[in-house]
Amino acid sequence: MDTEKEVARFSSYMIGERKSPHTIKEYKFLVSLFLNFINKNLETCSTDDIENFKNYLASVKKYSKSSQYLAIKAVRHLYKSKSITPLVNLTVPKRPRKMPNYLSEKDASRLLEEASRKDLKTSVIISILAHTGIRVGELCNLKISDVDLSEGILYVHSGKGDRDRIVIIPGECKDLLSEYLPQRYRSGNGNDALILSRRGSKFDSSTIERIVRKLGNEAGIGKKVTPHVLRHTFATAVLRNGGDIRFIQQLLGHASVATTQIYTHVDDSTLKQMYEKHRPRY
């Protein structure tokens, strides 16, 4: 079996399915891992091979339940790409529902303040992430034309699950973008990405991750700060301030409200306030 050829064919299928570049990269790696492990054509793969692969992920690769979930999901997509019915034991394990890691509003404010001491581009990056909750990949894919300052919105195209949506930007974020856009227009070079790197290309997710993590350290925040932590911070703050769960679902671009429900279990102070307001009065 030619693993490289199979993975390349699978990659083409994923592109046709309009999966995100991040998902394609992740699934290609996991499918390659599976094919190299079974070392046979998919049509001849047995339930024993599947069980051995599951054990390999858990005992040899030491994958977490979340990583095992993604690996099996990727393999199921491989079966689908070849129009083969998955074997009965090719089932995904339940992922643990971990409490999201988020910043207090005080720490988020410190991060924004630290960003304001840097260059304008850094301030724009942190402000958009903190005030809209968009994913880091969505930030990297924003174009100049996706910014509508008169309406105070950003258009997010082909987000996760290939869904388009709009997100609201508050006044402080609009002010930064109003200052940044003329600077961005002057840079020219024909690239329409909103955030440009020093090389004149759009930022990749790993670069934004490094910027945010470094800024968190410089702000003296005692926990690891990432773009996804800022996404959790945004959702938690909106909920704490009375935002409806379906409103938060739309802002975050979740396909199901079940994904958004995790934020209802996050904030202890909100939980206590709600309990005090609605508790039984015996």
Regarding whether 163 and 74 lie in a shared domain, the answer is no
Regarding whether 134 and 239 lie in a shared domain, the answer is yes
The packing angle between helices 171-187 and 120-132, to 10°, is 140
| Average of per-residue pLDDT across 101-120 | 92
The amino acid sitting at 239 is: L
The amino acid sitting at 154 is: L
Residue 52 resides in a domain = yes
**Per-residue pLDDT at 162 exceeds 60:** no
- pLDDT of 160: 58
Regarding whether 56 and 9 lie in a shared domain, the answer is yes
- pLDDT of 9: 93
Q: Which of 18, 49, 81 is the last residue of a domain?
A: 81
Q: Which residues are catalytic?
A: 135, 160, 228, 231, 254, 263
Regarding whether 60 and 112 lie in a shared domain, the answer is no
Residue 48 sits at the vertex; the CA angle it makes with 73 and 54, to the nearest 5 degrees, is 40
**Per-residue pLDDT at 189 exceeds 60:** yes
- pLDDT of 74: 94
Residue written as token pair 């958009």 = 128
Regarding whether 161 and 76 lie in a shared domain, the answer is no
Regarding whether 36 and 120 lie in a shared domain, the answer is no
* Domain limits for position 21: 3-81
- pLDDT of 249: 81
**Per-residue pLDDT at 193 exceeds 70:** yes
pLDDT band of residue 53 (cuts 50, 70, 90) is very high
Residue 25 resides in a domain = yes
Total structural domains in the chain?
2
pLDDT band of residue 209 (cuts 50, 70, 90) is very high
- pLDDT of 186: 82
Q: Tell me the pTM.
A: 0.68
For residue 202, list its beta bridge partners.
196
Regarding whether 186 and 141 lie in a shared domain, the answer is yes
Regarding whether 54 and 134 lie in a shared domain, the answer is no
pLDDT band of residue 271 (cuts 50, 70, 90) is low
What's the chain's average pLDDT? 86
pLDDT band of residue 1 (cuts 50, 70, 90) is low
Residues in the chain: 282
Regarding whether 113 and 74 lie in a shared domain, the answer is no
pLDDT band of residue 196 (cuts 50, 70, 90) is confident
Regarding whether 40 and 164 lie in a shared domain, the answer is no
Cα gap 51→34, rounded to integer Å: 12
- pLDDT of 194: 92
Regarding whether 123 and 77 lie in a shared domain, the answer is no
Residue 88 resides in a domain = no
- pLDDT of 126: 96
Name which of 136, 124, 142, 128 is nearest 193 in CA terms.
142
- pLDDT of 179: 95
Each as own residue / partner, the long-range contacts of residues 85-88 (CB below 8 Å, 24 or more positions apart, any chain) are 87/45, 87/46, 87/47, 87/50, 88/47
- pLDDT of 22: 77
Regarding whether 184 and 76 lie in a shared domain, the answer is no
| Average of per-residue pLDDT across 251-261 | 70
Residue 98 resides in a domain = no
- pLDDT of 188: 67
CATH number at residue 214: 1.10.443.10
| Average of per-residue pLDDT across 40-48 | 92
Q: Three-state SS across 226-241? A: CHHHHHHHHHHHHHHC
**Per-residue pLDDT at 278 exceeds 60:** yes
